[in-house]
Amino acid sequence: MLINAEHLLQYQRCKRRPVLDINADKSQRDAPNDLLAKLHQDKIAYHRGILAGFTYEQPKYSPGNREAVEAETLELMQRGVEYIYHGVLLSNYQDWTDTASEKYTLLSRPDLLIKQPGQSCFGDWMYVPASMELGKRPKQEYQAVAAFHAQVLANVQGVTPDTAWLLLRTKDSGYPVDLAKWTPQMLKILEEFIQALQVSDAPEMFISRQKCNLCHWHSQCYAIAQSQNHLSLLPGVTPVRYAQLQALSLTTLESLANTSPTTLEDLPGFDSIVATKLVIQAQSVIEKRPLILPTSLPKAEITFTAPVELYFDIEAQPDLDLDYLLGVLVVDRQKNTQQFYSFLAETPADEELVWQQFLDLVWQYPNAPIYHFCVYEFDTVKRLAKLYRTPYSLVNPVLNRFVDIYEQLIQSVTLPVESYALKVIARWLGFEWRDKEASGAKCIYWYDKWLETGDRSFLEIIQRYNEDDCHATRSVKDWLTNFFQNEYSIIQESEASL
Ligand code: SF4
């Protein structure tokens, strides 16, 4: 059985995924989506950028014949080629440990093998591996994978490299991995993974938006989680908290909903607020209705409605450090009108221009609150003000008008939803985006496509999506205001009747 570095990387993110990759029926996997395609393209472009600085050789790709590629790689190493891109190295797991009961072949395909002075089976030179990673930080999982490449390489060349490199997307891109620290950790992870492969059931799933959305087993895992009312679908249940709940035999929604918050509040990472919120969240899902939290904001704050309100949403391209679309929906409640403004930087150089246009618009309504969903808009306005040296007197009064609807919502109420993302909440309210497949991440891809092709249809779909985000934010704000007004009038009526 073959284990490669990708399996090891994925195992550190989700114990289930590489076990399914090896043991499950591959036809059950989801088809690749646009986001994965973009990631793949970004990776290729990143590799090309780095390789442009090297004279390198690469073994010929021979589909389905890894031994042939390995033989070519060994031939390049034997010749003492300075840089080898995507060589293939193989090693037997039995050579690493006595504990393996079954035969596993370990396949390493380091992005680069770099020649350096030393003594190896090839002569008075040796190689060290380097991994080109799209991330900016030397994440633990990258370091374990680098140690895997180094260990297979050590078996092949007869000498252990003194380091392994991570080439990261930072100015000082070369990060040396401490192999003395990471090799034992990598071996532990590998051994645990091999044991998981030998058990007939794959490890339990844990649905987490961040990692599962990019996984080709998502549809399968999500269907299982939904059929079981799995606790990972409950907002606030993280993998660590899930383990804590399991230790208390709280493994179902019902058991959690019927628990006293005092049972949870002394657990690490919990306090009385977190514990209460989690229990009420479970009750909210079971009862399929919103429930007010004891931490709810004062009535005047949460039901406040201004004559003119602005709803603000940004689209950004993080790779370019660019906020290219500032969308504002102006709602005049007295005149009963609404108008959407889309300040779009068609090229990155236009960012300053759209920033000015945004400021001009929000200053036309100096008393209007500016509603947004989550902290990104607030942080971005601070970033743009600093970048373009906007006077404090122009920016601070604007920032003082910002109201984060997400914060208001999560402090005041629990909803019967799987997450507090704008999309999920607004859809629960019945709001629909005009382009069903659109998302913030896809907009990043589409903006890249616009820059690449000049096809305006990419800009149009981004602008529609951004406008719908502003309308969705408004629908959440309106719902919250109405919900609390109704709840408070019910409370007042029942108090009056006593
Ligand atoms: S969908 Fe999530 S839980 Fe399932 S295998 Fe993928 S990452 Fe793991």
pTM of the model: 0.85
Starting from the edge strand earliest in sequence, which strands make up the sheet with 2-4, in order? 2-4, 105-108, 89-92
DSSP letter, residue 352:
H
Shortest CA distance to 463 belongs to which of 493, 484, 430, 433? 433
pLDDT given at position 98: 64
What is the distance in A from the centroid of ligand 1 to the CA of 229? 16
CA-closest candidate to residue 3, choices 17, 22, 16, 20: 22
Task: Give the pLDDT band of residue 362 (cuts 50, 70, 90).
Answer: very high
- In degrees and rounded to multiples of 5, residue 309 shows phi and psi of -130, 145
Question: 116 pairs with which residues across the strands?
Answer: 126
CA of 219 to the centre of ligand 1 (A): 9
Task: Please report where in the chains the tokens 């034992």 appear, as a residue.
Answer: 184
Q: In the predicted model, what is the mean pLDDT of residues 283-295? A: 96
pLDDT digits (tens, 9 = 90+) for 250-279: 999 999 999 999 999 999 999 999 999 999
Asked whether the predicted pLDDT for residue 99 surpasses 70, the reply is: no
State how far Cα 191 lies from the chain centre: 27
* 240 alpha carbon – ligand 1 mean position (Å): 16
Mean pLDDT of 456-485: 97
Check whether 101 has a pLDDT greater than 60: no
State the distance from the centre of ligand 1 to the C-alpha of 239, rounded, in angstroms: 13
Q: Report the atom number in ligand 1 closest to the C-alpha of 206.
A: 3
User: Relative to the CA of 10, which ligand 1 atom is closest?
Assistant: 7
**CA 220 – ligand 1 centroid, Å:** 9
Other beta carbons less than 10 A from residue 53's beta carbon? 8
* Protein residue closest via CA to atom 3 of ligand 1: 205
One-letter amino acid at 22 equals: I
Grade residue 180 by pLDDT with cuts at 50, 70 and 90.
very high
Q: How far is the CA of 432 from the centre of ligand 1 (A)?
A: 27
| Chain Cα centroid distance, residue 41 | 18
Backbone angle region of 167, left / alpha / beta, with phi > 0 → left and psi within -120 to 50 → alpha: beta
- Chain segment 4-46, per-residue pLDDT in tens: 999 999 999 999 999 999 999 999 999 988 788 888 888 999 9
Instruction: Specify whether the CB–CB gap between 157 and 121 falls below 8 A.
Output: yes
User: What is the per-residue pLDDT across 322-358, written as a single tens digit (0 to 9) for each?
Assistant: 999 999 999 999 999 999 999 999 999 999 999 999 9
E strand or H helix at 351: helix 351-364
% pLDDT > 70, the chain: 98
Residue nearest to atom 2 of ligand 1 (CA): 212
CA gap 263, 221 in Å, rounded: 30
Pairing, β 413-414 against β 174-177 = unpaired
Residue pair 109/95 in contact (Cβ under 8 Å)? The answer is no
Asked if 35 contacts 441 with a C-beta cutoff of 8 angstroms, the reply is yes
CA torsion angle for 149, 150, 156, 162 (degrees, to 10)? 160
Please give the pLDDT value at position 164: 98
Residue 57 is given by DSSP the state: B
Amino acid, res. 169: R
| Token reading at 5 | 């570095």
Q: Whole-angstrom Cα distance, residue 251 to residue 265?
A: 17
The torsion angle over the Cα atoms of residues 370, 371, 375 and 379, rounded to 10 degrees, is -20
Ligand 1 binding pocket (C-beta < 6 A) is: 14, 16-17, 20, 205-207, 211-212, 215, 217-218, 221
Atom of ligand 1 nearest to the CA of 13: 7
| Ligand 1 atom 1: residue of nearest CA | 218
Other residues' Cβ atoms within 10 Å of the Cβ of residue 25: 8
Q: Which of 213, 221, 237 to mutate to test the pocket of ligand 1 (most atoms within 8 A of CB)?
A: 221
Strands (E), 291-408: 291-292, 308-317, 322-332, 337-344, 370-372, 402-404
pLDDT band of 62, cuts 50, 70, 90? confident
| Residue of 91, 106, 96, 99 whose CA lies nearest to 195 | 99
Gap from CA of 340 to ligand 1 centroid (Å): 39
CA-nearest residue, atom 4 of ligand 1: 221
Residue 293 tokens, joined: 């939290």
* CB neighbour list of residue 387: distance below 8 Å, 6 or more residues apart: none
Q: Ligand 1 pocket check: which of 215, 228, 232, 237 to mutate, most ligand atoms within 8 Å of Cβ? A: 215
Q: State the chain's mean pLDDT as an integer.
A: 94
Q: 206-220: per-residue pLDDT in tens?
A: 999 889 989 999 999
User: Quick one: pLDDT at residue 254?
Assistant: 97
Residue ranges of domains in the chain, CATH in brackets: 2-197 (3.90.320), 229-288 (1.10.150.20), 301-488 (3.30.420.10)
pLDDT digits (tens, 9 = 90+) for 107-161: 999 999 999 999 999 999 999 999 999 988 999 999 999 999 999 999 999 999 9
